[in-house]
Structures are given as C-alpha cells and as structure tokens.
Structure 1
Amino acid sequence: MKRLINSTPSRGGRWLLGLLPFVLLGMLYLSLSNARLAENPNDPLLPTPAKMAQSFHHLATAENARTGEILLWSDTLASLERIVIGVGISALIGLIVGILNGGLPLVRAKLSPLVTVASLIPPMALLPILFIAFGTGEAAKIALIVIGVTPFLIRDLQGHALRLPDEQLIKAQTLGASSWQVLLRVLLPQLTPRLLNATRLAMGTAWLFLIAAEAIAAQEGLGYRIFLVRRYLSMDVILPYVAWITLLAFLLDQLLAWVSRMAFPWYHASEGDNA
C-alpha cells in the first residue's frame, strides 16, 4: 500500500489542487454576499463581483479631475517605486553586512549583537521618529522598509555563511587566497542566491510596512487609497485594491524566483528547489 507521504500529484493535479482553495473561498464569498444583499441591496460590506469589477475598471481608466492622472496607475507606480527602492537598499546592506559578519569573526563580534537588537525592535514603533527625522515624504517610508527588512536579511545571510563547510575556506586559504578574496570568491557567489530567496521571504513584510506608512502619511499609493476610502465603507474599491496588491506581490516574488533560477541554476539544483 502506497503511503500518503510518498504520494505526489501530477503537474495538472498540482494546478487543480492549488486552485481548489481559491474556488472554495470564492464560493463562500458569493454565498455570503448574496445572503447579505438579499436582506439589504444597498449593503456596501460584501459587494458583488460585478460591482467590484466596475469600480476597479473606473479606477483603472478614469482620469482624476484635479490632477489628470489615472488613480490606479499613479498609486501603483508610487507604491512600486517605494518598495523597490526600500527592498533594494535593504538587500545591498544585507549582503554587505551579512558577508562581513559571516566571514570575519572580528566584525561579527562587533556588529552581530547590534543586528540582533535591531531585529527585535518593532519597526512600526519607530514610524513617528522617522516622520520627525525625515518628514512625511518618501524618505520616511523607504526608511521604514529598510529598518524592517534589513536585520532579517543580515541574520539570514550571516547564518548561511556560518553553515558553509569549513573545508571551502581552508582550501581557499591553502591556495593563497587573502581574507578579501575568500569573501569575494567563496562567500559572495554562494550567498547571492540565498539573498534572493531571503528577499522573497521578506517581501511580504516590506509590503506591510509600506501600506502602513502610506496609510498614515501619503498623498498617493495603494495603501493611501485603501485607507482614504475606508471612511465611506467602499469595499468595492478596497477589496479589488487588496487583490491588486496581492497580484503585484506575487509578480515581484516570481520575478525574483526567475532571476535566481536563471543566474544560479546550480543553487536550485542542489537545493532541489524548482519554485
């Protein structure tokens, strides 16, 4: 008898099993929406899919009377710019400090406690300080993403560097490599694909910080728009925006996965990771 733990679905079966939860959630939403609207046709809390599609189409096509911009695309561009810059800065700092902490014990002794303490500070608690220090412009929002994401990346890369076989470091030094050559030619190539994977894991947290910052102080952005219309209970706008944010996050995740597979196929072969 074949054990359940050894049973793997086919490619088509994986798609069907993956879609099943979404179908069930959609059916549940439709049943709740129909029941609520049957009692009150003007109830805004659970709008029909047609109503949400109509509102989303309006936001994606109609120009703002005051600015002349199309709201959905201006919000999307503003949010994507913030998150790409914030995550990019976090990845760069995480890679540099992670390599130094993982490869140089003297640096690790100085910086590792600081990174550990920084990772324990709730970034949202620092948001008022960031607004005071940087104002309510772009710098504060990007800084919140950097503060929230960078310690995680540093600790992940540092831990991965420390788990590398000692034989690699010993052989490199036996062949005459200096400390910097070991960092650049042994650690850097192996930590870069790990950085991409860690960045994928941190992307959800980065979106959380971005939405929170935009909700408090912004003039455009996906988070700003959601919290702007919540006072009117405009669920026909909020729910499509949440779905749009989810789609954008998924596309960014898949882009990082594609870059990782194309640039570092050996890493995914050794990890057995095809995601």
Structure 2
Amino acid sequence: MHRDHDLRIDVLGSLRAARHGADVRLGPPQRRTVLAVLLCGVRQVIATDRLVDCVWGEHAGSASVGSLHVHLSHLRRTLGSDSIVRHVHGYALAIRQDQLDADEFDHLAALGHAALRRNQFRRGRQHLAAALALWRGHAYEEFDGAPWARGEIARLDAERLGALVSRIDADLAIGERDVVGELESLVVEHPLHESFCARLMVALYRAGRQADALAQYRAHADHLVESSGLAPTPALRDLQLRILRHDERLTIPPRQADDKETTSDDEQDLADPNHHRKEER
C-alpha cells in the first residue's frame, strides 16, 4: 500500500499536522478529537462505537455515526487517502513511525538508553537530547483531562521523565557541570521526584558545593515529611553519608566506553526506526 511519505503528525504539544513541509488545517474540535483518538491507538483498530463515545460522549445521537464518517472523510483528504484504514468494526490510523513525533521520541529514547547500558555516554546523551527536543509542551495538550487520552498522556510523560533522568546521568558521567541550574528547576517542578534530588546533590558536590548538596537533602527530607509523612529512601540517605564522608567515587565519573565500540545486535535493531513494524509490510 502506498503511503504519503511527506506526512508528519505531532502530538508532543498541541496537535498539528503537515504535508510536504506545510502545515495543514485539521478542522473543528470534533474532527481534531477523532484524529487524536486514532493517534492514541495508532495502528490499532478503534471501534466505531468507541470513536463516537470519545467524541460525543453523552451527547451522542442517531446522527453521530454519520457525522463521524464525514469527519473521517475530511481527515483522509487532509492527511492522505491511505492514512486512515476502514475495518469491519472500526478504523485505524496507518502511518509509519517516522511520521509521528511520539513514535520518533520512543525510538530515540530507546537508542539512548541502549547506549548508556553500554557505557557509551556521549552517544546516549546525543540520542536522548534529540528525543527530548521533540517536546513542545504537554503531550496531547488540548485533550488534557479527556478520559480516553489519560493513559497515553501518562505513558508519554513517564517516558519523558525517564529520558530526562537518563540524559542527566549521561551529563554527570561525562563530567558536565552545567546541569545544576536545570536540576534546581526540575527539583522545584517535581519536588517528590527523588531521582532529580539525588542527581542535584551529586552535581552540587562535584561543583565544590558540599554544604549546598547537604542542604538539598535536608530540604527534600523536610518536604517529604510535610507532604506525605515519608522519609527519604535508604539510597538517598546513603548518598548523604557519602557526601559527608567525601567519598572519592562521587567525584570520578564512571569509566566511559569508546563511542566507536561496535554496536550490539539490539542496538543495530533499534537503529532501524521501523524494526518492530517490518511485519506490516
């Protein structure tokens, strides 16, 4: 089946689409919702009844299915005739991984994580930074709060935080010291996220700011007690003790593997952005 190679859809922010490098109008809110529901289940068949329920909810009526078909017809004209495939009981969005920014993010993040597992910190950082640069705001921004979007938004937000933590790990591993300001902002934004607190403590200590690193631990511990009645984890308490003792391992980044090292079979598979969808062809 021929598909439009110049189609691009972005959901890591407000929903938008482009063909041949030019933005296209996706139409009124209901039509945008139809597309967003299909994107949340990309390459899966979404039942007609579910589409109607997601778009019209309790306001669905006898004319809703007909309206849905009209919206789908307009979307096909806008995105390409092969972009939406009709099945017996529903519809599926038929796009490649490199045509959707969320898929591209997943692919680049997976490459970055794979590189870090091999101690290829510079290569991993490059992939993870490229993945994070795709974000323009909150995923499915205009549909925040919609029950049908909640699961995919939560998944993408969790993957974004994971990629950010790993990118910061790569920064620390290669001796990058300009991460303190970023980590300070992240700790304010995610006050209960212990991973950011721990990494800020390490970054401050490596910058010669032991007192600030210990103060960060106390601030995090106080906030935990006040907000949830919990105490820092044993791992964070151990990090505090290592900082107090001037553990030399905190000042020496882990040994870096040569970035020219031959990639593993897994990484070679990941290098193909459609490796796990070849069976579609």
Tell me the TM-score range normalised by the shorter chain.
under 0.3
Give the TM-score taking structure 2 as reference length.
0.26
Give the TM-score taking structure 1 as reference length.
0.26
Q: Of the two structures, which has the highest relative contact order with CA contacts closer than 8 Å and spacing of 6 or more?
A: 1
